[in-house]
Structure 1
């Protein structure tokens, strides 16, 4: 059984530095981790890759409140979900040792961000006036001059194509293309797909070389057919960028507009009707460009006004001559992409059974597949474009507080699931039908059994019931008991769980698109015995199982699933979240009871579900203050258990709040559990003084770092981005020069 005293002795011997809850590094790491508890299993093997968010080009986490010159840091309080991709690789291929290699992922947008960061203005003196650098805007990072940054910080997918014998690794995000990176060096190799093969989330007339690509953080790879399936979607919004001139105006007059809006917000705060307040805000943004000078030439200004005035007429005429309609507007569209290493993506526009375009209301965070079907969801994660761009001034607490109050809505309490029969993916067709099923409660992650006998799909889901992953704790927030937030917690994600989490199992007729059966499991644990609750499902988060995503082995039938259940804690439940979700329609536990339990605290657990009996069979309850960040099923050499689903280890990244010699610390540690016996506690705990991370997400296990003999697929960076630059009508020559100096040299 777990012995806390021995762990404390190991920590003391390693002389670990004191760190806050939110802390990270962006420095390259090459470390040998030290065992501070237990013994490292001698049969653990392979490599665990974990993606994480690591801050911005200006600083790692935590973002300081003030800049070095004493001015206010506009990144302070930004969500920790929003950060550059920092991939960590834990190597278990040397007996008795664990090595860590970690590097920042650096796609082209990284170098653009680096070139325009704080302090770069002496090289480009006009930028200080036009504020062209990238900024944290809600849950995206954007430049009003250059566009949207690729933050490859969410997940990793192994793929193979052609004659590959070893895994390739692809880093993914919800907003951007997947990028292949080298598993040995952790350096970027190539994006998957050219920019011209994707649809842009903003109209083509918006002069950004870095487009807004709404995709999925979890593309689905078929290790049998060696195909990678993904989605790319756009969403029409009430505020059309082509009509408002909002972004060019913000690019030129950012500070003046911020001051003006702040004064208006002070007067709008007295409006009691939420719809009226929202209308005032929308009207302001619609007309913000009027009577503001620009630095455009007369020709540029004339050309832009011509496009604005005659958009509809020109759109019809140019469409007749083959100019895409999305140059002038954005409509609801969802595309299915299939990649097999060929020079071009295979793409289909997905339609419903009436032939109408699909409409995504939140995001397509998760996709999954079986041997005969591709499935994706409109996930319980408010990451759509209108949410990302609803506040150009998130650093301004007066504006941010007002805009959040009048625009925020709860996530949908259900999930739409879409099913595409893979046999219908005809290369000669431009569309494919996706059947829709409505499932309750809502969820963000799900996986299918690969086998689908007689067209029957078996789907497992993790429901983040009334736990809003698109919200974060603001510096001005109050906790649900009315107190100020705890110092150092601004920016933390999943701001409060407002009902018991659920684990779901659905059986679906893939051909007809009908729900055949459903099983929903939840467990509060024994609340009268807080020191050992028994298995619970408070805060069901990410999960893992054997070969959860594999480049070579399909998950024919999932037998055991290991869930992160992150419990309840007072520092995450704010008054804002409580009010937003107190009337949650799928509620099982009264809101007041959830509030009480949050103030008392329910600790994290890792729990195992027997997927066949659909029962929770094993769990480990962590001490209060110990937090799971990521978990990954990790193989062992050989086999010692006849049940493959528990024949291995669970590698868990932790941030553990504890006191050592009277000093509070947040320890970064790697805990390794026997997958067949969680209850006994960790087999080993490892750490290092330089091990530092704040927000880790999805992970993958591979058996080898060996490379394939050849790289038949590459997207040349200059050719790729020149397609975007050639379409730019504002500052084209400046952007061309910028790319020639700051971007292309890194990819020659």
Structure 2
């Protein structure tokens, strides 16, 4: 299978008229925002690069829709353009210089009462104008945030890429991390102390340290319900060596998902720390879909998107070899993350009891399709998010399996992964395609998995990806087509827009949400030479308005406060830690 690797790192900017073919519904009129990285030549990891936002205006006119694209103008980006040789292009998470850590804001889009923010795991969030796509402001001065490492102008902030906006309270809830080297492995690994924060969109952030909790990984996604905040410990791991681009792998994460449960009633004004209760369940979780409302019994229901044998902080490098052929990778492969696994993807449905004296995992159900590998992005119907019944289904993207993308280094790091399902002899001799599927949440996933395995045993002649066609609604993409971003459109019967890479082309495919197997009902073709490359998460807005922002960070004052307040804050915190440890010694 030919992988469109040359199309992954291209970013076109401007306003474009895109041609629509097929049957475009008349009841679609909203807007989809998709974010992805903008790659400078020296930035090697595909996830590295300041955010680029792409807006798709879904109201078709004369067989065309309008598509807009603009790069985010972060303040460190000015210095990167002015003095590019002073910035070191580490593989992850961002570029480094004497001025500090680059802010990337390239991973997800968050809407907040008509306002639009770009987010990432590293750096502050940035607000953009939803109409013009111009950069407005970062969220907060650096001294308001939890600082992992000081910098002259741009200290290191470790964030969750997926905060949660709660419309009823008009609050954005997120999580920042205070990282330090693991003492027994200073160069290879960090541990992180999580801080939950709330922001009302116009004043300072309010933070609470989660007491007594150290994370091995990071909190890529924060889970917020009507009563609780769940802080996951997720396998996005890095050490100082990773940040600097050195080849010292971090310590392997704990082989189960660990979640720290905080009662929202504890997040009150006059406290600085909150207690948390720990729950665990099997597997490496990278994202979550959850019901905001608790069940009648008071339980939390969520779906964990899991995948073994991949590592998103690592990427193919110039001296890597292909695991199967032993040949070195061509330059166009360098920087492609280990986001394609050599094992089937896992979806795990979990019910959690959250009583103060009895917090535990009540039960889990596991969905595994033997031909669907590399769980990636997902979407769901946002009209169901705050309902009493919760979500009815998850729409999951499986990236596929590609022998051309498996390096020996990735294989060796995950060869003995405890969550791995298959052994080496069961790795297919051919590639597996991208798949878009709808998995109902009211079905018994254990039984569904058992039925798929039985069908595989009874019909070995069937293509692996086609198993379950009588039970599930899904679409298998043609050979050479790579499924990228995905977004549910909550209009009419519901639609799914996906972005697709093929050769050097970038397209949008529209599906009816209730009939994926019927294929795309319409396709969007960009003008020749226009390509947005590898993109990530997305968000839907019904309408757009450009308003005077109620919040603005002053650029000059931000630099002054970074030079003055951040060092004082860092030294004060370090002094408190030293004093506390000394007091323990003399007790």
Which category describes the TM-score, using the shorter chain as reference length? 0.7 to 0.9
| Residue of structure 1 in register with 2:52 after alignment | 86
Q: Provide Cα deviations, 1:457-506, integer angstroms capped at 9, x if missing partner.
A: 00111102222222211121111121232552111122541322100111
Equivalent-residue separation in structure 2 for 1:549 and 1:701 (angstroms): 14
2:545 alignment partner, one of 706, 714, 720: 706
Bigger radius of gyration among the two: 1
The residue number in structure 1 matching 2:154 is: 210
Aligned to 1:21: 7
Residues 19-418 of structure 1: pairs in structure 2 closer than 5 A: 20-25=6-11, 27-35=12-20, 37-56=21-40, 63=41, 75=42, 78-95=44-61, 96-118=63-85, 133-160=86-113, 167-202=114-149, 204=150, 207-238=151-182, 332-351=192-211, 356=212, 358-382=213-237, 384-386=238-240, 388-389=242-243, 391=244, 394=245, 403-404=246-247, 406-418=248-260
* C-alpha contact (below 8 Å) 1:496/1:577 kept by paired residues: no
Change (3 A) 1:465 1:545: same
**1:719 and 1:444, CA in 2 relative to 1: closer, same or farther beyond 3 A?**
same
Which residue of structure 2 lines up, in the alignment, with residue 532 of structure 1? Answer: none
Q: Relative to 1, partners in 2 of residues 1:651 and 1:219: Cα closer, same or farther, differing over 3 Å?
A: same
Which 5+ residue runs of structure 1 have no aligned equivalent? 1-17, 57-62, 64-74, 119-132, 161-166, 240-274, 283-329, 395-402, 526-536, 640-646, 657-664, 730-748
* Residues 1:555 and 1:592: Cα distance change in structure 2 (over 3 Å): farther
Task: Give, in whole Å, the separation in 2 of the partners of 1:361 and 1:411.
Answer: 6
**Is 1:538 aligned with 2:373?**
yes
The reply on whether 1:602 has 2:432 as its aligned counterpart is yes
**1:336–1:350 CA contact under 8 A, matched in 2:** yes
CA contact (8 A) 2:128 2:134 kept: yes
2:458 match: none
Tell me which residue corresponds to 1:522: 368
Q: Secondary structure at the match of 2:172?
A: strand
Comparing 408-417 with 86-95, greater Cα deviation is found at 408-417
Aligned to 1:432: 274
| TM-score in terms of structure 1 length | 0.67
Q: Structure 2 stretches of 5 or more lacking a match?
A: 449-470, 568-587
Structure 1 residue 429 displacement after superposition: 1.1
Q: CA deviation at 1:363?
A: 1.3
Shift of 1:442: 0.8
2:576 maps to none
Shift of 1:410: 4.2
Report which of the two has the higher share of strand.
2
Structure 1 segments, 4+ long, off by >6 Å, are none
- Per the alignment, in what secondary structure is the counterpart of residue 695 of structure 1? coil
Q: Contact between 1:498 and 1:582, CA under 8 Å: does it hold in 2?
A: no
Question: Structure 1 residues 409, 349: closer, same or farther in 2, change over 3 A?
Answer: closer
In 2, Cα distance between equivalents of 1:715 and 1:727: 15
TM-score by length of 2: 0.85
Contact between 2:159 and 2:219, CA under 8 Å: does it hold in 1?
yes
CA contact (8 A) 1:158 1:169 kept: yes
Q: Is 1:621–2:568 an aligned residue pair?
A: no
Whole-angstrom CA distance in 1 between matches of 2:545 and 2:388: 23
Measure how far apart 1:238 and its partner are: 4.7
Rate the CA distance shift 1:213–1:100 in 2: closer, same or farther, 3 A: same
- Aligned residue number for residue 558 of structure 2: 720
Alpha carbons of structure 1 residues 410 and 712: separation in structure 2 relative to 1, 3 Å: same
Query: Is the 1:235–1:360 contact (alpha carbons within 8 Å) kept by the matching residues of 2?
Result: no
Offset from partner CA, 1:327-380 (integer Å, 9 cap, x none): xxx9853211101134221211111xxxx2x11211111112111111221112
Q: Distance in 1 between the 2:79 and 2:337 partners? A: 27
